[in-house]
Amino acid sequence: MRRALELAQHGRGSVSPNPMVGCVIVHDLGNVPTGRMLGEGWHRQYGGPHAEVNAIRAVSDADETLLPESTAYVTLEPCSHYGKTPPCADLLIAKKIGRVVCCNDDPNPLVSGQGFAKLRAAGIDVITGLLAEEGRRLNARFFTFFEQKRPHIILKWAETADGFIGGVGAKPVAISGPLASRLVHRWRSEEDAILVGTTTARNDNPRLNVRHWPGTSPMRIVLDRSLTLPKNLHLFDGSQPTRVYHKPAVASPGDGPNPNLIYVPADSLETLLTDLHRQRIQSVLVEGGAQTLTSFLEAGLWDEIRLFRSPNSLYDGVRAPQVRGKLADQQQVDEDLLLVYRQ
Ligand code: AOF
Ligand code: ZN
C-alpha cells in the first residue's frame, strides 16, 4: 500500500479535481503465493483511465490467470459509476481479482460505499482502512470538499519575530525572504483559488498569480464588501478568473466587459464557501490580511496554517493572528522558519 500511495503522487498537478490514486496488484493469496508484483499503475490524467485500469493493463497475459489469487492494493475505493471511464469495480470483478484492500472509502456520493458493495456482492474479499491517515492526507482537498461541502482552506501569513504581520500605516513591508516567496508561488500553483481581504487588496495591490514558479495561476478571490476598491488594482485586470464577494445590500455592478470578473453577493464566510463549493473549487489559499485570516480562524473555517516566522523585528504595526491548532511540521526556509499547523 505504501508503494500504491507513492505511485498515486505521480498524478499530482494533472488529475485535479479527481483524487490521486495508485494501485499495486500482488500475487499473495491461494496455496502457493509468490508475493510477486504483477502490475501497478496510477491515475495519470484527469479524464484518463483510473489507477486500477492502468495496473490491470500492466499485468502480462500469462499472469492474468493468477489474478484470483491476488490482491489489488488501491489507495481509494474502486469506483462504481460511469463517469469519464467505466466502473473500476466492474473491471476488477470481470478480471476475477481475489481481494481488494484500500486506504479509504470514496467520499464522492457517486461512489461512496457502492464500489465496495459491488465487489462484495461478487464474492470478492474487501478490506478498507489500511494506512487510512496517509490516504486522507494524500487527497486532503478532495476529502474536505466532499465531506464538509466546502473547499480545503489553507491560511498563510508571514510574521516578524515580535509577532507583527505588517507595519504601521498602509505601506506594505517585506517580512519573509525571497525563498519563502518562491515557495508561496509554488503553493499558489497547487491550489484552486487564492483569497485576500479588502485591506490587503487596497494596500498591497497584489497580482495573486504564479510568477516565481512554473505552473498555472489559480482563481482569484477578493472580499470587497462595500465595493469600494479602486478598479485599477491588478486584481481587477481580468487576466485571470476573479470572483469579487460583496454584501448583498450593495448593488452588484453586473456583467462588465470582462467575463473573467464575476461579482457575487455573500453575507458571510459560510455563504462564500458554499458558492465556491458550487463552483467545484476544492481548495483555497488565504493570503491575508490579519482581519481576514482572523475571521477564518475564529469561525473555525480552516484546515491548515502555513506560517513564516522571520528573524527580524518591527516593534510596532499590525499584530499577526493568534495561532491555533497542532504544530504538524516545521522547516527552515533560508532565514525564515516555516511552521505548519493542522486542526
Ligand atoms: C477509482 N480509481 O484512479 C480514481 C477514482 O470522471 P471519472 O470517471 O474520472 O471519475 C472521477 C471520480 O472517480 C472521482 O471523483 C472519484 O470519486 C473517483 N476516482 N476512482 O476507482 C481512480 N481517480
Ligand atoms: Zn475508477
- Neighbouring C-beta atoms of residue 34, cutoff 10 Å: 13
133 CA distance to ligand 2 centroid (A)? 21
> Which grid coordinates are listed for 122?
461478487
Which residues lie closer than 8 Å to 274 by C-beta, 6 or more apart? 149, 150
The closest ligand to the CA of 75 turns out to be 1
In terms of Cβ atoms closer than 10 Å to its own Cβ (0-12, 13-18, 19+), residue 288 is buried
Per-residue pLDDT, 232: 94
Please list the active-site residues: 52
- Identify whether 17 is preceded by a cis peptide bond (ω within 30 of 0): yes
Counting as low any pLDDT under 70, the low residues of the chain are 255
What is the model's pTM? 0.91
Ligand 1 atom 22: the closest Cα is on which residue? Answer: 50
Tell me the per-residue pLDDT of 169-194, one tens digit each, with 9 for 90 and over: 878 899 999 999 999 999 999 899 99
Q: How far apart, in whole angstroms, are the C-alpha atoms of residue 21 and residue 138?
A: 9
Q: How far apart, in whole angstroms, are the C-alpha atoms of residue 303 and residue 277?
A: 15
Ligand 1 atom 4: the closest Cα is on which residue? Answer: 50
Tell me the residue length of the chain.
Answer: 343
What are φ and ψ of residue 155, in 5° steps?
-95, 135
Using most ligand atoms within 8 A of CB, pick from 18, 23, 52 the residue to mutate for ligand 1: 18
Pocket of ligand 1 (CB under 6 A): 18-19, 21, 43, 50-52, 76, 78-79, 83-85, 88, 106, 108, 111
The closest ligand to the CA of 44 turns out to be 1
Per-residue pLDDT, 65: 97
Which residue matches cell numbers 516593534?
A: 315
- Identify whether 289 is preceded by a cis peptide bond (ω within 30 of 0): yes
Which residues lie closer than 8 Å to 152 by C-beta, 6 or more apart? 140, 141, 144, 145, 282, 283, 284, 303, 304
Q: Are 155 and 195 in contact (CB under 8 A)?
A: no
Q: Are 318 and 164 in contact (CB under 8 A)?
A: yes
Complex ipTM value = 0.92
Nearest-atom number in ligand 1 for the CA of 17 is 15
Tell me the per-residue pLDDT of 33-86, one tens digit each, with 9 for 90 and over: 999 999 999 999 999 999 999 999 999 999 999 999 999 999 999 999 999 999
Q: Cα 117 to the chain's mean position, in Å?
A: 28
Per-residue pLDDT, 311: 97
Per-residue pLDDT, 216: 84
Using most ligand atoms within 8 A of CB, pick from 14, 79, 105 the residue to mutate for ligand 1: 79
DSSP H or E segment with residue 180: helix 178-190
Per-residue pLDDT, 324: 82
Nearest CA to 37 out of 65, 70, 74 is that of: 70
